Amino acid sequence: MATIKDVARLAGVSVSTISKYLNGGNIRPENLEPIRNAIVQLDYRANPFARGLKANRSRSIGILLPTMTAPFFGTVVTALDKVLRENGYHSM
């Protein structure tokens, strides 16, 4: 699994430049294509757990249920999970 350091090395830029790119910051136009190519070539995907550790926010929500056998709770959890994912969170 590729890391942000691997992407930076392949693109020929700093780790902070890759971080800015991934988080929507401003970077030099001439760096866009090498960064995109490195991400595709390495099949880089940001690790949400590592990001949560760095930001001190996990964006995770735990869901406790009295039982998993009732169909009602499955419907509720499915709907809740959909809304959470649309807003950048995930459930456990």
The 10 Å Cβ neighbour count of residue 35 is 22
How confident is the model at residue 12, as a pLDDT?
A: 96
Pairing of strands 60-61, 90-91: parallel
**Residues in a beta bridge with 90:** 60
pLDDT tens, position by position, 32-76:
999 999 999 999 998 877 777 777 888 889 999 888 788 888 888
Contact 79, 67 (CB under 8 A): no
How confident is the model at residue 86, as a pLDDT?
A: 93
Q: How confident is the model at residue 11 (pLDDT cuts 50, 70, 90)?
A: very high
Collapse the DSSP code of 27 into the 3-class scheme (helix H, G, I; strand E, B; otherwise coil) and give the result. Answer: coil
Q: How confident is the model at residue 13 (pLDDT cuts 50, 70, 90)?
A: very high
Average pLDDT on 22-36 reads: 94
